[in-house]
Amino acid sequence: MASRLPLIAGNWKMNLNHLEAISLTQKIAFSLPEKYYAKVEVAVLPPFTDIRSVQTLTDGDKLLLKYGAQDISAFDSGAYTGEVSGVMLAKLGCSYVTVGHSERREYHNESDELVNRKVKAALKHGITPILCVGEQLDVREAGNHVAHCNTQLVEGLKDLTGEQVAKVVVAYEPVWAIGTGRVASSTDAQEVCAAIRVQLAEKYGEEVAAVVRVLYGGSVKSGNIGELIAQKDIDGALVGGASLQADEFTKLCALA
Ligand code: PEP
């Protein structure tokens, strides 16, 4: 049975300038001594404009904290105004990138096809994609949440080999739980995370399914992480709002 190191990734979204990013990173580093990193991997996902500052700090102080980006271009370079490529993110030492976050799917019309190209771009440059899947409230109420998430999963991983899929992190983020304070119950979150693992096993084999980390995201806080992470198929969390407060985020990481 493969053991999966829990991952807590803080999605800062479009918050904090580079000076505020330095301050928060320092506070996280100070409050989370090295001994914790044997039990949990911790990453922050700042806006693009902060990544260089976070890199300077983590490199300079040899921090065990990882960092990454919130999006990646499907292209490596060229006339794509406003885009940031995997080449650039890899050069900045990014370990992770979220792909297919529901806010990008909704506000930027990102399709499963584009998400799939972004997953491939991340892997090409040695960056771990955190592939986000999740249903809207009406989909859950209609009882179609598992099928919906599995479709996003299969399409997002299209044409990848089992070896590549083993390097991906999947985040189950029900849209109705993101930024709403309404967390999924641990049973509901486990149901979808388990279904994701079954789907991975069917397509890529048990060995691959056993190593892929499946996170839950949606109003995770220090008060609910314990119950969520106790579930068999939940290997950590993608944390939005609570990742912006050093005390709350480090408490949450220590409990994971
Ligand atoms: C997110 O943005 O991925 C997220 C889970 O946000 P929050 O924790 O604020 O619900």
Question: In three state form, how does the secondary structure of 143-202 look?
Answer: CCHHHHHHHHHHHHCCCCCHHHHCCCEEEECCHHHCCCCCCCCHHHHHHHHHHHHHHHHH
Does the C-beta of 6 come closer than 6 Å to ligand 1?
A: no
- Ligand 1 atom index nearest CA of 239: 8
Residue at 255 is within a domain: no
Q: How many domains does the chain have?
A: 1
Q: For 102-136, how does the pLDDT look when each residue is reduced to its tens digit (9 = 90+)?
A: 999 999 999 999 999 999 999 999 999 999 999 99
232 confidence band (pLDDT: 50, 70, 90): very high
Strand partners, 69: 97
Q: What CATH number does residue 52 fall under? A: 3.20.20.70
Average pLDDT across the chain, whole number: 96
Residue at 51 is within a domain: yes
Residue at 254 is within a domain: no
Does the C-beta of 218 come closer than 6 Å to ligand 1?
A: yes
Q: How much of the chain exceeds pLDDT 70, in percent? A: 99
Task: Decide if pLDDT at 155 tops 80.
Answer: yes
Pick from 231, 225, 227: nearest CA to 213 = 231
Residue at 253 is within a domain: no
2 confidence band (pLDDT: 50, 70, 90): low
Report residue 242: phi and psi, to 5°: -70, -10
* Boundaries of domain holding 216: 7-237
Is 101 a residue of the active site? yes
Residue at 245 is within a domain: no
Q: For 53-69, how does the pLDDT look when each residue is reduced to its tens digit (9 = 90+)?
A: 999 999 998 899 999 99
Does the C-beta of 217 come closer than 6 Å to ligand 1?
A: yes
Q: Which of 101, 125, 145, 148 is catalytic?
A: 101
Q: Copy the structure tokens of residue 87.
A: 């080449």
Residue at 2 is within a domain: no
Across residues 17-34, what is the average pLDDT?
95
Q: Which residues contact 157 (CB under 8 A, 6 or more apart)?
A: 116, 119, 131, 165, 168, 203
Residue at 256 is within a domain: no
CB-CB contact of 72 with 85 (8 Å):
yes
- Ligand 1 atom index nearest CA of 132: 3
The C-alpha atoms of residue 69 and residue 130 are separated, in whole angstroms, by 10
Here the ipTM equals 0.97
Task: Decide if pLDDT at 1 tops 60.
Answer: no
Predicted confidence at residue 33, as pLDDT, reads 84
Q: Copy the structure tokens of residue 7.
A: 């991952």
Predicted confidence at residue 3, as pLDDT, reads 81
CB atoms < 10 A from the CB of 39, how many?
11
Report residue 142: phi and psi, to 5°: -85, -5
Residue at 137 is within a domain: yes
